[in-house]
Amino acid sequence: MPSRKILFFLIALVASTPAFGDAGAIKVEESPRAPTSLSKSLAHYIMGIIYDNDSKRDRAVREYKEAVKLEPSESVIHTRLAADYILTHKYDLAMDELKKAKSIDPTDARPAFLLALVYTSLRQFDNAQREYEAVINSYPDSVWALSSLADIYILEDKIEEAASVYEKLILQEKDSAVLYFNLGILYLKLGRVKDAIEKLRQAETLDPNEPAIKNRLGDIYLKKGLRNKARYEWQRSLEIDPGQEKIKEKIKNLN
């Protein structure tokens, strides 16, 4: 089954209908091919989109296959066909179409995104990492690509690389408490305790009512032997969420 991330990406992809002539769409005016062939391809392409909107994937696939047969050099058709292959669990066919789309239009990030997501779903993390890195080389400010690449690094236990990506993400999303929290955890794994505390405090400033931040600060202080500071953080956490039995037990063990 595709992951939730893949499904959300695919839904966004097939729900958006590019205007002909836009980047990533079939280019009508610029095409030197015979009008009959192109018009037939467009008709099948549009029918595919209509079937997609009705969640009739098998019919959409048939239409896209007819469209791409007539116009094999249009990357957007290959990408849409691949999206439906993924939704119907035909991953090998999807990857073939996405590779074709990439070779036709290397400037379109969507095929690379989808390839990376499929590779991740299949636990081919090295391949997924390569695709995300290629996207980031072209689109260095892409939050989606950066966050996805960070996920891959974490899965591969490449903590330094993941932390480096989160540092870039924070430059794009400076008001995200989650990013500061996650970076703090990564710094902690790297033994950078002072930096970890700093990032967790920044996360707390952005989200003062999140008990998980205070709980983790308490854990850090306990490991440093600062029992009073640990108690203080856990007590503040309980003020927000009094039902945390594990935190109550930790405080009890301090006495």
Burial of 243 per CB tally in 10 Å (0-12, 13-18, 19+): exposed
Q: Which two tokens stand for residue 168?
A: 């870039």
CA R_g for the chain: 24
Which domain does 88 fall in, by range? 1-114
User: Residue 3: inside a domain, yes or no?
Assistant: yes
- What are the angstrom distances between the C-alpha of 168 and each of 54, 75, 207? 39, 30, 20
Q: What is the pLDDT of residue 214?
A: 97
Q: What is the pLDDT of residue 35?
A: 55
The conformation of residue 17, written as its DSSP 8-state character, comes to -
Q: What is the pLDDT of residue 4?
A: 46
Burial of 225 per CB tally in 10 Å (0-12, 13-18, 19+): exposed
| Spatial separation of the C-alpha atoms in residues 216 and 214, rounded to whole Å | 5
| Spatial separation of the C-alpha atoms in residues 33 and 154, rounded to whole Å | 47
User: Residue 48: inside a domain, yes or no?
Assistant: yes
pLDDT tens by residue, 14-48: 444 443 334 444 444 444 554 568 888 888 988 99
- For the chain, report the end-to-end CA distance as a whole number of angstroms: 49
The number of domains in the chain is: 1
| pLDDT above 70 for 8 | no
Mean pLDDT on 173-190: 95
Picking from 77, 128, 78, 133, the residue whose alpha carbon sits closest to that of residue 100 is 78
User: Residue 171: inside a domain, yes or no?
Assistant: no
**CATH number of the domain enclosing 1:** 1.25.40.10
User: Residue 59: inside a domain, yes or no?
Assistant: yes
| Spatial separation of the C-alpha atoms in residues 74 and 47, rounded to whole Å | 16
| pLDDT above 80 for 2 | no
Picking from 119, 86, 83, the residue whose alpha carbon sits closest to that of residue 101 is 83
User: Residue 105: inside a domain, yes or no?
Assistant: yes
pLDDT tens by residue, 70-96: 989 888 899 999 999 998 889 999 999
Q: What is the mean pLDDT of the chain?
A: 86
The mean-pLDDT minimum among 24-38, 104-118, 170-184, 237-251 falls in 24-38
Is there a contact between 121 and 6 (Cβ–Cβ < 8 Å)?
yes
Confidence class of residue 194 from pLDDT cuts 50, 70 and 90?
very high
User: Residue 211: inside a domain, yes or no?
Assistant: no
Q: Which two tokens stand for residue 9?
A: 């990406």
